[in-house]
Amino acid sequence: MASGAVASASRTRYWPWLLLLSCSRVGAMRFDEQIFSKALRTKVIGQKIYCHPTVPSTMKLATELISQQGAQSAHGSLVLAEAQSNGVGRRGRAWEDEESCSLLFSLVWSPSGFTSIAEVMPQLVRLNLAAPVAVVRACADVGVKDAKVKWPNDVLVGEAAKKLCGVLLDFNGQ
């Protein structure tokens, strides 16, 4: 699972994800699944949306989704929340958020066609590096020119370099 910002490779397809991002920056706004679905231009990624007011962790729910549906059936599913009570960051650190002021989601990405973990690992490493770069490019596309990557997984914005997001890839081998 990884940040949804990597779901599309072309610049014209970034904006549905940034629709989420812009809504998350205004505390009074809520995610609008209908607007998002209409704006989405992908065939698989984000077509199944599970939106919750509050969850322990979107990552935990995405992992449960894989267990319930199987990795290939859950592929492309997007698990969103307005708030998390037990969010997960890098190295098991807690991820804290302010309700309706954070972009909280997990994307189930299950690559097919690989016969071993050794084959898929280079792709996962590239995905982990590409995801924050995709967020920065998407920000630039909507006029946020000062976004930058703080390696390995954070995106910072503004002169004060405030954290806009973190990208966490969790591989469970399924």
Q: What is the DSSP track for the chain?
A: -B-GGGS--SGGGSHHHHHHHHHHTSTT----HHHHHHH---SSTTSSEEEEEEES-HHHHHHHHHHHH-HHHHTT-EEEEEEESSEE-GGG-EE---TTSS-EEEE-----S--SHHHHHHHHHHHHHHHHHHHHHHHHHTT-TT-EEETTTEEEETTTTEEEEE--------
Q: Which residues pair with 90 in a beta bridge?
A: none
Both tokens of residue 107? 């994307």
Q: Point out the residues of the chain with pLDDT beneath 70.
A: 1-30, 98-102, 173-174
Mean of per-residue pLDDT scores for the chain: 76
pLDDT at 1: 38
pLDDT at 69: 93
pLDDT at 174: 55
pLDDT at 173: 66
pLDDT at 65: 92
Residue with tokens 């630039």: 140
> What predicted TM-score, i.e. pTM, was given to this entire model?
0.72
| Whole-number Å distance between alpha carbons of 27 and 82 | 10
